[in-house]
Amino acid sequence: MRRPILIGITGGTGSGKSTVANEIYKSFSEDCIAIIEQDSYYKDQSHLTFEERTKTNYDHPNAFDTDLMIEHLKMLLNDQAIYKPIYDFKEHNRRKETVKVEPKDIIIIEGIMLLQDPKLRELLDIKIYVDTDDDVRIIRRILRDIRERGRTIESVVEQYLNVVKPMHTQFIEPTKKYADIIIPEGGQNKVAIDIMVSKIKQVLFENK
């Protein structure tokens, strides 16, 4: 059994991480690649009331169950399937259901805090930082949170200014130094994505 390739894609909120991950994903057959979102690993908050859960700082490293994510990645590396959590952003809590993820040759992990934890960082074979202008990121965040997460524009802007932006400066931006490659302008950078796909294919060929 050959070891799966773990590819970490990180960057600030709205930077285009998911777009880059999906573009890479589409370049391979579905039977050899999987995507795991770090957002799925927000901590279970069943012990808190809904009002208390809405006050959680979701842009802080402590919001994530990183230990569980590391455990799951190690299981996939050892050819074991995992049951990935599902996070409900409207309820601010995990659902009872999970999603089964089978081991694959390529596993993409996508999230804002991937390079913040040394133990998680060490598992990644290729580390990508998606670097996008702050103005573009906040616009994308507003559109996403209103359409997909039931938020108001006022709440999104307030959260961005009071929480998201300072947390980005403190915890996410500094992890850029750990990246193997920095992709400017996220999913719009087709050249960088094509280069990454070629590199992954090369690594796959070498691992045969």
Give the residue ranges of the annotated binding site: 11-18
Please report which residue ranges of 55-174 form alpha helices under DSSP H: 66-77, 118-123, 134-148, 153-159, 165-167
What lies within 8 Å, CB to CB, of 116 at 6+ separation is: 61, 171, 172, 175
The two three-digit tokens of residue 160, written as one number: 């961005």
Binding site for ATP: what residues are annotated?
A: 11-18
Q: What angle do CA 117, 157, 115 make, to 5 degrees?
A: 10
Helix (H, G, I), strand (E, B) or coil at 45: coil
- φ/ψ bin of 80: left (φ > 0), alpha (ψ from -120 to 50), beta (otherwise): beta
Check the CA dihedral 161-60-37-15 and report its sign.
Answer: positive
